[in-house]
Amino acid sequence: MTTVYDGALPILATDMHGESPERISELLADGFLPPEGDLLTAVNTFLFRTGGRTVLVDAGAGTSLGPGTGHLLENLRAAGVSPELVDDVLITHLHPDHAFGLVTAGGEAAFPSATVHLSALDAQHWLNDAAAAEGVHAQIHRWAAQALTPYRARGRFSTFAYGEQPVRGVTSVDLHGHTPGHSGYLVSGDGERLLLWGDTMHSHTVQLRAPHVAMDIDSDRPGARAARMRILDEIRMRGWVVGGAHLPFPGIGRIRFRQGEARWVPAPYRPLECA
Ligand SMILES: [Zn+2]
């Protein structure tokens, strides 16, 4: 599993709901973060090989969110993988920091050989329910449609239901709430299972200790909260390794549950053995 860094974006305390501002400041301070939040929260994407295919989970922000993000393609090349070699892109949800990197600045497919996979529920919402959207959500609908245009035009866009395997060996997991079709991906290897999530947590510093804290951008705050609680429970029971789009780069580790509190334990860097 290789984490490919797309950049960093601000996750602001003022966008967090469900706790008093004082409590949120306190939780941030415990993580040595300023009261404003984490202004340089990572945007991670995940690359791996399975069943002879090269798979990318999420595509970064592309040109949607300014120069702090959108570095996936250069970092992918630095990791020795040309974008043409990617066979499948699994998208966790259609927010721009996860999907707009599917297209170049000119609107071409950034991954010309790839099929893009997305939950049917997210596709239904972001591609078909645009008329009722306002403000930032209207902009997200436009970005979502643009990101998928070249793939849909070439028949390289595919949707799935939760529990299905969009790529053999990779099972989609229901994490809806943050968006109507927000998905995780469960990957098996070396006797362990790794759950990759998109926006189940924006600020692990706050939301691991206060998982009821929801974000402004959540489509459905109670749903997002319920999904986070449910998946944390499942991770605790099953001992899954976790990879998160906004966990600190490289964003892979475990969660230690002790005395009712959860703590992030990043996987240590280890030398890469080249085959
Ligand atoms: Zn995100």
- Ligand 1 centroid from CA 42, angstroms: 9
- Ligand 1 centroid from CA 23, angstroms: 23
- Ligand 1 centroid from CA 44, angstroms: 9
Predicted local distance difference test score (pLDDT) of residue 194: 97
Predicted local distance difference test score (pLDDT) of residue 274: 58
> Mean pLDDT, to the nearest integer, of 202-219?
97
Predicted local distance difference test score (pLDDT) of residue 189: 82
What are the residue ranges of helices labelled H in the chain?
Answer: 21-30, 72-78, 96-99, 120-123, 135-153, 204-207, 221-238
> Mean pLDDT, to the nearest integer, of 201-225?
97
* Complete domains list, the chain, with CATH: 2-266 (3.60.15.10)
Q: How far apart are CA 100 and CA 202, in angstroms?
A: 18
- Ligand 1 centroid from CA 153, angstroms: 26
How many helices (H) and strands (E) would you count in the chain?
7, 14
Determine which helix (DSSP H) or strand (DSSP E) holds 50, and give its type and residue range: strand 37-50
Q: How far apart are CA 103 and CA 89, in angstroms?
A: 12
Determine which helix (DSSP H) or strand (DSSP E) holds 216, and give its type and residue range: none
pTM attached to this predicted model: 0.96
Res 79 pLDDT > 70 = yes
* Average pLDDT value over all residues in the chain: 96
- Ligand 1 centroid from CA 99, angstroms: 9
Q: How far apart are CA 223 and CA 230, in angstroms?
A: 10
- Ligand 1 centroid from CA 275, angstroms: 33
Predicted local distance difference test score (pLDDT) of residue 273: 66
Contacts of 261-267 with C-beta under 8 Å, sequence gap 24+, read: 261/208, 261/209, 262/208, 262/209, 262/211, 262/232, 262/236, 263/208, 264/204, 264/208, 267/241
- Ligand 1 centroid from CA 263, angstroms: 21
Contact present, 249 and 42 (Cβ < 8 Å): yes
Summarize pLDDT for 256-275 with one digit per residue, the tens: 999 988 999 999 887 766 54
- Ligand 1 centroid from CA 245, angstroms: 7
- Ligand 1 centroid from CA 152, angstroms: 23
> Mean pLDDT, to the nearest integer, of 37-60?
97
Q: Which residues contact 182 (CB under 8 A, 6 or more apart)?
A: 92, 93, 119, 122, 175, 176, 198, 199, 200, 224, 227
> Mean pLDDT, to the nearest integer, of 208-220?
97
- Ligand 1 centroid from CA 145, angstroms: 17
Predicted local distance difference test score (pLDDT) of residue 31: 97
| Nearest Cα to Cα of residue 181 among 110, 255, 124, 113 | 124
- Ligand 1 centroid from CA 258, angstroms: 27
Predicted local distance difference test score (pLDDT) of residue 191: 85
Q: How far apart are CA 197 and CA 184, in angstroms?
A: 5
Phi, psi of 15 (to 5 degrees): -95, 5
Res 32 pLDDT > 60 = yes
Residue 253 CA, chain-centre distance (Å), reads: 15
Residue 32: half-sphere exposure toward Cβ, Cα within 13 Å:
0
15-19, 152-156, 160-164, 189-193: segment of lowest average pLDDT: 189-193
Predicted local distance difference test score (pLDDT) of residue 224: 98
- Ligand 1 centroid from CA 274, angstroms: 32
- Ligand 1 centroid from CA 198, angstroms: 6
